[in-house]
Amino acid sequence: MKEFQLIAKYFTGRSQSRRDVQIGIGDDCALVTPAENKSIAISCDTLVENVHFYPDIPAKHLGYKSLAVNLSDLAAMGAEPAWMTLALTMPEVDETWLEQYTEGLFDVADYYGVSLIGGDTTRGTRAITITVHGQVPTDKALRRNTAQAGDWIYVTGTLGDSALGLDILRNKQQVPGQYESYLTHRHYRPTPRVLAGQSLRNLASSAIDISDGIVSDITHILKGSELGAVISVEDLPLSEAMQASVSNDEAIGYALTGGEDYELLFTIPEAQKGALETTLGQTGVKFTQIGQMTQGTSLRLLKDGESYIPANYSFEHF
């Protein structure tokens, strides 16, 4: 199969058409018409086999995840997804793999209204680079460097599930049978918090998505905003599956340092707390207050008011 046949079969016309796409796949460039009074938010992520994913990941899940992790970056800025390009490198043309990969990819693209407008197809070690473009009202994007001392720290969803799911997949953890598929799905199919991110535009003073674990990711907000923070580890939201599967200390370890949850961490000024309950409440996304921004530059962890030092738990970022 030639490259152009492959593109025609698997990519052209597969995603929904958007009125703001003048030219999609097929010419030298794609042409899009940005909306008025909006800024374009652009983010790019590469997933390389044996670095970011294991060869045994089902192709359909890889298709889903390769776009979902990019959408999570748009969510963290409060942007609305619009267009994407896909650079795909494969060792050989495997039609079964392509069929499943694109099924997963277009599942999530269609759900969020993202149009595939171009890309590149090459031979080599399997790797996927997606660049996603979104739109956000000018000056409304959520930043990392704009938190204020006293703002409350929140997260969406539950924490640590993806890392526990990965440990199950790698045979490093055994969990009660009824929780296994929930946890492995949280690893393979994270939910990008796209609507939640948009609903935070006029409420949050800063936001970031959680890709490396909150201890690592909150550091970007602390550095950017030149502040410290205190987090109460007993307030970290843990799924029923997490609580039923490991000890409380282990669960806190996963929640603090486990990667790839793709939840949002954001800060809310005291005056916006009421509005947050209504606005984010309407999206149906669970959110939990876990701490507060402080003066200084350090991150302090408390458990029942006492300083908390995490158990000797190390997360290997594969």
Instruction: Fill in the per-residue mask, 257 to 296: x = in contact with ligand ADP (CB under 6 A), - = not in contact.
Output: ----------------------------------------
Instruction: Tell me the C-alpha distance between 289 and 263, whole Å.
Output: 13
Instruction: Tell which positions 120-139 bind ligand ADP, by CB under 6 A.
Output: 120-121
7, interface contact from ligand ADP, Mg ion, none, CB < 5-8 Å by kind: ligand ADP
Q: Which residue among 63, 81, 104, 118 contacts ligand ADP (CB under 6 A)?
A: 118
The encoded tokens of residue 301 equal 């962890």
- Measured CA distances, 188 to 10, 86, 169, 205, 278 (Å): 22, 19, 10, 30, 31
Tokens of 283: 């999206």
228 binds ligand ADP (CB under 6 A): no
* Angle value at C-alpha 294, between 292 and 300, nearest 5 degrees: 75
Site for ligand ADP in 2-31 (CB under 6 A): 3, 7, 11, 25-28
Identify the H or E element spanning 195: helix 194-199
# of chain residues touching ligand ADP (CB under 6 A)? 14
User: Scanning residues 32 to 91, which ones bind ligand ADP (CB under 6 A)?
Assistant: 86, 88
Binding residues for Mg(2+): 28, 43, 45, 73, 120, 209, 212
DSSP secondary structure of 8-22 = HHHTTTTSPP-TTEE
Q: Both tokens of residue 49?
A: 């086999």
Cα dihedral value 276, 279, 280, 281, nearest 10: 100
Residue nearest to Mg ion (CB): 120
Q: Does 27 bind Mg ion (CB under 5 A)?
A: no
Q: State which residue, 99 or 235, has the beta carbon closest to ligand ADP.
A: 99
Q: Rule CB under 6 A: which residues touch ligand ADP?
A: 3, 7, 11, 25-28, 86, 88, 116, 118-121
